[in-house]
Structure 1
Amino acid sequence: MLVSSIEGAMRTAVVAGIAFAALSQAGPVNYTQKYNWKNHEAEGSSIRALNSDDSWAPLQDYVNTTLWNEHGVDAVALDPNDASRVYIAAGIYTNSWDPYNGKIMSSKDYGKTWSRANFPFKFGGNMAGRQMGERLAVDPNNGSILYFGARSGNGLWKSSDYGKTWAKVTTYTAVGTHIVQPGDNGQNGDIIGLTFITFDSTSSSPGSASRRIFVGTADTSATVYMSEDAGATWAAIPGQPTGFLSHTGKYSPTEKALYVSYVDTANTYGGGDGYVYKYYVQSKTWVKILDDNGTGFGFGGLSLDPQKNGTVMVATYHQWWPDGNIYRSLDGGATWTTIWDFDWSGVQPPVQRRYNWDVSQATWLPEVTGDKATGWMMGTLAIDPFDSDHFLYGTGATVFGSHKLTNWDRNTKFTLSSLSYGMEETAVLGLTSPPQGPPLLSVVGDVGGWKHDNLDVAPAKAFLSPSWGTTRSIDHAGSRPNIVVRSGDDAGGLALSSDSGATWHVHASAGSWTGGRAQLSANGDFVVWAVNNALYVSVDEHPFQKVPNIPSGSYYTANDRKHNGLFYAAENSNFYVSTDAGTSYNKTTSSIGYIREIGVNPFRIGDVWVASTSGIWHSIDSGATFGRVGPATDAYHVQLGKAAVNNGYPAIFAAATIQGWAGHYRSDDGGYTWTLISDDNNGFGTPGNNVYAADPRIYGRVYIGTNGRGIFYGDANAASPVPAAADVYGQCGGQGWTGPKTCAHPWTCKVSNSHYSQCL
């Protein structure tokens, strides 16, 4: 979890209260079943608003496939004189493989609805340097004026009409030169660009444009530029420090001084050196007020307390040992204290903390963070501008904060709490819903995964022994659901549990392999592991054997929940079946499109479903033959859960494109007809980044794991109709027929003529 901006959300919430977003988008089907969706705390970068009870309200749950890149937020800005106006710079990656350009989104109703201004280049909400900033800002004297500092060498942009239209500021030529890792095709290979924009509110009167504006760049020669004529001309501020990148800049109008934190790199995971400087506008002098003194970190998030002149706080930039730290000064940086001190005497514990730790909202945190109670990857920090006792900062695991901050100044301990309820930022990578025990098991990036005993509260414990940062897959044995397997990104990357995920041990033959996708046979004695571009099988934890007759590649695997010997695998467009518990496979087809997911009926042997680039396919003979089902033209996921009371078919859930609309659907009649269950308020991002599980115990319940919004589970509205099914020999179709169009399991609707179809 990496939170790139807090101050904007805090200021919106304090002034405006709760804010929600819901865009009106017409679906492609005539009937959308109302689903009761809930977000289940599970620990992307979408925007939230802070509520008065310390919870966070999402503003972008409307995001679906067509608006996918809006889940990436590169910057947040608020109008300091009109709390209803919120702005975000939306876009995820600047790489060539991201097809979407960036956009500035504007709201004048606290984020309930949004307008969009499209840009001719990309933004990078998940690129390196995303903690720097803010690179989007509203003029405090004239709210119609906004500035945006772009990445990729695209410079500075300005709007004079509340973000509706934008133009490049051609007189500003310093676009930044820093690239974390030149040549990298991932997050580190692009120009970071501009890092922050801030104004001197005292440089003009309300209603006119602020004359003094500061812009930071990711450049080691000149990093801070200033305009004193409302943006007409710009120049690097003379005498400024060089050698490091500007990270965050904040202006104190009472001191007439600019505070700037510096670090030696924009790498998301670490900095090695840095300092904090203060620029006095009237005397035109720079003063170093904080230095890491060669201890191996730089400085990042910085905040001023507007109610307490000279009060400033700054976080270390990714200090990993012994913990991240926060510095606080009450005299403009002349003297500092830290949130913890190191005792070298050996008499006391080495880290002496000024706070007590409260993780009641995320009781699993100590298992993930270990001895790092302050945090790491601390990229943003904010003091509440309306409450000097309230502050928040983001870490690599959660959002921490306190409502008793000024206890620090009295040398009295304050409580540092996890305050991230509703701030689910980690990518969910795997879900499974067993027929007994906990209703859900999950695995996620960065913080491992959980056993979810109660869907209405956050899980109590993370998966331990082994504890991996990123866990890739999880599966339960169909006939013995207490047996669970998971795979993860560290040595010994395969673990087994015999008590539904409460305790674990490393698979005896896991060795040094990591990651991949692991599946259990129905009885739990066989493990098939797709890892190292091959398939391997182990029985009773004996050494893994490579499956000989399946080509190397990237695999999606699945198991039959009822038959211990049946396994399925997909490699590109090829479908394979194993009848000997994964020891060998036979290819049965390569003509159903690129296979993205295999779903199995947990109640029937050999009932297999496939989501592919050509739609949804179904087999009732263990994958020997397939037929295309329903109107989907493209599908990402298909999973099967408990049937309705009056229908023999299981509930089938799919993320698919039907009638041109990409969404989430359910079928109760074997895939003949589909009901759209996603809606304007619940889009779940792009289906390709979702993971699915259907509940085998509760009809109509599906779990959707997202890339940045945690886990949702949805239940069918009790008032919604369930299609009836005709019994054997009953009519199921024909011209003008208005009765049941499906047959109870296991019968099939057979066409006799254009006027009559019958269940046979």
Structure 2
Amino acid sequence: MTDKTDQRHQTPTPRPLSADPLEGPATPLPSFMGRRQWLSSCARGTAGALAWTPFGALMAASAAEPVADGAPVRAAHADYTWASLPFGGGGFIDGFLFHPREQGLLYCRTDIGGAYRYDGTARRWLPLLDHLTKPQADLMGVLSLAVDPQDANRLYAACGLYLDAASRDGALLASTDRGATWTIHELGIKIGGNSPGRGSGERLQVDPWHGDTLLLGSSQDGLLRSSDRGRSFQRLPFSPRHVSLVLFDAASGRKGQATRRVYVGSHDQPGLHVSDDGGGSFRRVTETPAQAPQHAAFGPDGVLYVAFAVGDGRHVANPSYATTGSVWKRDTQGRWTDITPVRPGSGARGFGYAGVDADHQRPGRLIVSTFERWADGDDLFLSEDGGRTWAAVGARSTHDLSTHPWLANYKGNTRRPDPMGHWLADVKLDPFNGHRAVYGTGYGLWMTDRLDLATRPASDARVPWRFEVAGIEETATLEIKSPSGGATLLAAMGDVSGAAWEQLDQPPAAGLFAPSNETNRSVDFAQLAPAILARTSDHCATGGYVSVDGGASWKAFGPSPRQARTAQGQRAPTGIVAVSASGGFLVWAPERQAALWSRDKGRTWAPSTGWPASPSPQLWPVADRTVEGVFYLHDRSAGTVLASLDGGASFAPVITGLPVVNDADFAQLVVAPGRARDLWLALPDGLLHFPGVDEPMQRLPLVAQAWMLALGKAAPGASTHALYLWGQVSPAEGAPAQEGLFRSDDAGQRFVRIDDPQHRYGRLLSMAADPLKHGVVFLAPHGRGVVVGRPKGQA
């Protein structure tokens, strides 16, 4: 096998199935050895079948017979370049932060995809947290950012994902070079960067006159103060537990002395609080409503503006669950005034206010955003007279959808008024140019340099918003596949359906998979007929789609016995679909349900027999890439691998005695193309290879932990697929294992490390490797879109 010119973009010719493959006759069962004969031969170890025996015996055999002759050599390092595949946004941007004294210095935070710094010259965002490792992966959830007004190089981030006991504790990340490098200070408490209420802020603040002092409003542990730039924190006497924002009043301090007045908002005891002794004590600002402050800002004249919202009683507000809200201001005499632009209604017409910012150059000019305004669509409101009158910005706006093909699909698929987007959690004005504004949505951000057009009288001019997301890739990509023909990469994505890349340096030309039905759980292709595709989709009434033309068109699954709703009445996740080698069979495993199989490309479905009653929420069927109609399944809770030889109609165990794997741990079964029954099994305690007919199981001695793997085109002159592994690998047998991404060109006898300290990406959700170009691997990190790695110098 030699590395020749990439042949993928010659459109593949699918194997003829019928005049209309979706409506034609059912595919006949394969004519190879019958299931009962094949299973019995597995136990006997006869020719033509794998000699699969209990795991303990296999381990003993592998210890007695080394995998390779000679001692394993030390793993080398291969220079790789890493880059995001261009898609553009795709996730929730929940906060922005301009430096008040450094022109052009802008940051944004995301709930699951880290933080970014904006390069205004290149008009591109630079990711700041891609260096995080697997144990640090939860720190990709950024609850709050803070800058030091006296030192533009200092940046802080309060990070963590969830609040449950199983989640990693949060940390305070500190940088002295604008996020290029970081020091991690563990907090010992949970931080909910992807928990309800995350759209409010900022919760983390640096004292504008005393840079050693930081205040951090936590998700459930109250208000904390640090006197050593975030190295340690102490709890302050503030009774609410869930802080929504912190804001120093710079007018109450002076250089070298701590600021005296601090405003703090709370979610769990909704209301605004103030301290006049630097946080030593607090009192409730009773002139304001019993609603949670979402954002607050001072104008250049010292007037304070606050946006409020309140949740539904069971959940705190922002970005969801708002029932009502308001906007208030405090003048320099301490008088509070309600300046709400539009009053929320009741029921479905309820909504909240989230973002608020003041023009630093023009006193009385401010902007606010709504969220959860389902009936009329969320909007921005702009005032130039301190909130006495307001202009709705949406009615005077245009949004350019042409730069990102998927946007037209996405916006056209919305089920409610959506002129400005949804989840408008934050809006900011450039402190040096109040006509420049940026606001976030649930799918990216919009920026303009002409906000002044929103209030220009007697004018037909519109505020031109551009989707300024170059460099931001935040899709929650749930599964990726690199087919043997057709598109270079297929991706199933949370919230935004999925897409196919033809060229890796361009956004998906066709936009999203169409019909676009929000979350797609999985996608697969037929190895020997790659124009045949299938995907599962939570918002599709029948659960998924099939394509026979490489994704140019899709037809919905036919009716099935699947339960479309959970016992609680919620939409049931549609789970995983696998496509057989030639595309004649599908096996579909909805989450927490028994599997179904189809022999007519999804037109009809029947239950699979022998499917395990596993407590694991999701079981993952995979197809043999060489033999039509053969499927496999790793049942992690029972320590078994099952197989089906009849297109998915029935499954039976063929490997037993494997270690049981907890649902929280990684495990993956991968089938190699080109040879029947060539299985790789990644486990928390190593990597197993079942090479095929009449060959014993091999345990790879250098692999301490295998979390995820992919197989790609063989190296020039090699006879085995290139193996890409995310896990822990020892540089030599007996040496301490190292965490990272590795490649092996000789079936795991030797590994080279391909990641670097700047590109670790936290937690991966999926991996794929290019079957037509050696060295190319694709990653789907949690909340970071899709990343491609190539050997340095490779086009």
TM-score scaled to structure 1, two decimals? 0.83
- Which residue does the alignment assign to 1:320? 374
Kindly indicate whether the alpha-carbon contact (under 8 Å) linking 1:639 and 1:654 is maintained by their aligned counterparts in 2: yes
Find 1:290's aligned residue among 341, 360, 368. Answer: 341
User: Superposition pairs for residues 11-160 of structure 1, below 5 Å?
Assistant: 31-42=76-87, 43=90, 44-52=112-120, 53-98=122-167, 100-152=168-220, 154-160=221-227
- Which residue does the alignment assign to 1:259? 306
Q: Which amino acid aligns with 1:500?
A: G
Find 1:463's aligned residue among 506, 509, 512. Answer: 512
Find 1:548's aligned residue among 600, 609, 620. Answer: 609
- 1:671-710 per-residue CA deviation (whole Å, 9 max, x = no partner) reads 1111221210110212xx4201111000011111111111
Q: Which amino acid aligns with 2:445?
A: V
Q: Which amino acid aligns with 2:746?
A: D
User: Superposition pairs for residues 325-340 of structure 1, below 5 Å?
Assistant: 325-340=379-394
- Tell me: CA distance 1:496–1:214, structure 2 relative to 1, closer, same or farther (3 Å): same
- Per-residue deviation, 1:173: 2.2
Q: SS at 1:62's partner residue? A: coil
Kindly indicate whether the alpha-carbon contact (under 8 Å) linking 2:669 and 2:682 is maintained by their aligned counterparts in 1: yes
- Which residue does the alignment assign to 1:616? 687
Find 1:479's aligned residue among 528, 535, 540. Answer: 528
Find 1:362's aligned residue among 399, 404, 409. Answer: 404
Q: Which amino acid aligns with 1:142?
A: H
- 1:247-277 per-residue CA deviation (whole Å, 9 max, x = no partner) reads 1122235143343333344153331211111
Find 1:174's aligned residue among 232, 239, 247. Answer: 239
1:569 aligns with 2:644: no
- 1:150-173 per-residue CA deviation (whole Å, 9 max, x = no partner) reads 121x2211122222232222xx32
- Which residue does the alignment assign to 2:260? 211
Kindly indicate whether the alpha-carbon contact (under 8 Å) linking 2:410 and 2:512 is maintained by their aligned counterparts in 1: no
- Tell me: CA distance 1:594–1:501, structure 2 relative to 1, closer, same or farther (3 Å): farther
Q: SS at 1:442's partner residue? A: strand
- Which residue does the alignment assign to 2:61? none
Provide the C-alpha distance between the structure 2 equivalents of 1:138 and 1:418, rounded to a whole number of angstroms: 31
Provide the C-alpha distance between the structure 2 equivalents of 1:39 and 1:465, rounded to a whole number of angstroms: 23
- Per-residue deviation, 1:393: 1.1
Provide the C-alpha distance between the structure 2 equivalents of 1:714 and 1:79, rounded to a whole number of angstroms: 35
Question: Mean Cα displacement is larger for which, 529-538 or 84-93?
Answer: 529-538
Kindly indicate whether the alpha-carbon contact (under 8 Å) linking 1:630 and 1:673 is maintained by their aligned counterparts in 2: no
- Per-residue deviation, 1:645: 1.1
Find 1:536's aligned residue among 596, 604, 614. Answer: 596
Provide the C-alpha distance between the structure 2 equivalents of 1:662 and 1:510, rounded to a whole number of angstroms: 43
Structure 2 gap segments, 5+ residues each: 1-72, 91-111, 565-572, 662-666, 731-736
Aligned residue pairs, count: 657
1:417 aligns with 2:481: no
Provide the C-alpha distance between the structure 1 equivalents of 2:688 and 2:542, rounded to a whole number of angstroms: 36
Find 2:717's aligned residue among 636, 642, 646. Answer: 646
- Tell me: CA distance 1:147–1:422, structure 2 relative to 1, closer, same or farther (3 Å): same
Provide the C-alpha distance between the structure 1 equivalents of 2:280 and 2:629, rounded to a whole number of angstroms: 74
Q: SS at 1:690's partner residue? A: strand
Provide the C-alpha distance between the structure 2 equivalents of 1:499 and 1:120, rounded to a whole number of angstroms: 53
- 1:219-260 per-residue CA deviation (whole Å, 9 max, x = no partner) reads 456x11112233333212242222x22211222351433433
- Per-residue deviation, 1:30: 5.2
- Which residue does the alignment assign to 1:162? 229
1:710 aligns with 2:785: yes
1:685 aligns with 2:762: yes
- Which residue does the alignment assign to 1:607? 678
- Per-residue deviation, 1:421: 1.8
Q: Which amino acid aligns with 2:392?
A: T
User: Superposition pairs for residues 369-408 of structure 1, below 5 Å?
Assistant: 369-370=411-412, 372-408=418-454
- 1:629-682 per-residue CA deviation (whole Å, 9 max, x = no partner) reads 242122121221100112111101111222332221111111111122121011
Provide the C-alpha distance between the structure 1 equivalents of 2:419 and 2:531, rounded to a whole number of angstroms: 33
Provide the C-alpha distance between the structure 1 equivalents of 2:143 and 2:775, rounded to a whole number of angstroms: 37
Structure 1 residue ranges, 4+ long, deviating more than 6 angstroms after superposition: none
Provide the C-alpha distance between the structure 1 equivalents of 2:75 and 2:470, rounded to a whole number of angstroms: 36
Question: Mean Cα displacement is larger for which, 641-650 or 532-541?
Answer: 532-541
Provide the C-alpha distance between the structure 2 equivalents of 1:164 and 1:268, rounded to a whole number of angstroms: 30
1:698 aligns with 2:698: no
- 1:164-221 per-residue CA deviation (whole Å, 9 max, x = no partner) reads 232222xx32324xxxxxxxxxxxxxxxx11111122122222222222111111456
- Tell me: CA distance 1:258–1:391, structure 2 relative to 1, closer, same or farther (3 Å): closer
Provide the C-alpha distance between the structure 2 equivalents of 1:485 and 1:623, rounded to a whole number of angstroms: 33
Q: SS at 2:405's partner residue? A: coil
Q: SS at 2:327's partner residue? A: strand
Q: Which amino acid aligns with 1:591?
A: G
Kindly indicate whether the alpha-carbon contact (under 8 Å) linking 2:200 and 2:318 is maintained by their aligned counterparts in 1: no
Kindly indicate whether the alpha-carbon contact (under 8 Å) linking 2:538 and 2:544 is maintained by their aligned counterparts in 1: no
- Which residue does the alignment assign to 1:597? 668
User: Superposition pairs for residues 168-317 of structure 1, below 5 Å?
Assistant: 168-169=235-236, 172-176=237-241, 193-219=242-268, 223-242=271-290, 244-264=291-311, 265-266=316-317, 268-294=319-345, 295-317=349-371
Q: Which amino acid aligns with 2:179?
A: G
Q: Which amino acid aligns with 1:315?
A: S
Provide the C-alpha distance between the structure 1 equivalents of 2:261 and 2:216, rounded to a whole number of angstroms: 16
Provide the C-alpha distance between the structure 2 equivalents of 1:620 and 1:289, rounded to a whole number of angstroms: 68
Provide the C-alpha distance between the structure 1 equivalents of 2:278 and 2:640, rounded to a whole number of angstroms: 62
Provide the C-alpha distance between the structure 1 equivalents of 2:470 and 2:490, rounded to a whole number of angstroms: 20
Structure 1 gap segments, 5+ residues each: 1-27, 177-192, 341-352, 720-760
Q: SS at 1:324's partner residue? A: coil
Provide the C-alpha distance between the structure 1 equivalents of 2:449 and 2:659, rounded to a whole number of angstroms: 55
- Per-residue deviation, 1:318: 2.0
Provide the C-alpha distance between the structure 2 equivalents of 1:258 and 1:494, rounded to a whole number of angstroms: 47
Provide the C-alpha distance between the structure 2 equivalents of 1:421 and 1:318, rounded to a whole number of angstroms: 27
- 1:427-476 per-residue CA deviation (whole Å, 9 max, x = no partner) reads 11011111211110101101011011111022233434432211000001
Q: SS at 1:483's partner residue? A: strand
Question: Mean Cα displacement is larger for which, 75-84 or 658-667?
Answer: 658-667
Kindly indicate whether the alpha-carbon contact (under 8 Å) linking 1:468 and 1:488 is maintained by their aligned counterparts in 2: yes
- Tell me: CA distance 1:140–1:673, structure 2 relative to 1, closer, same or farther (3 Å): same
Kindly indicate whether the alpha-carbon contact (under 8 Å) linking 1:274 and 1:291 is maintained by their aligned counterparts in 2: no
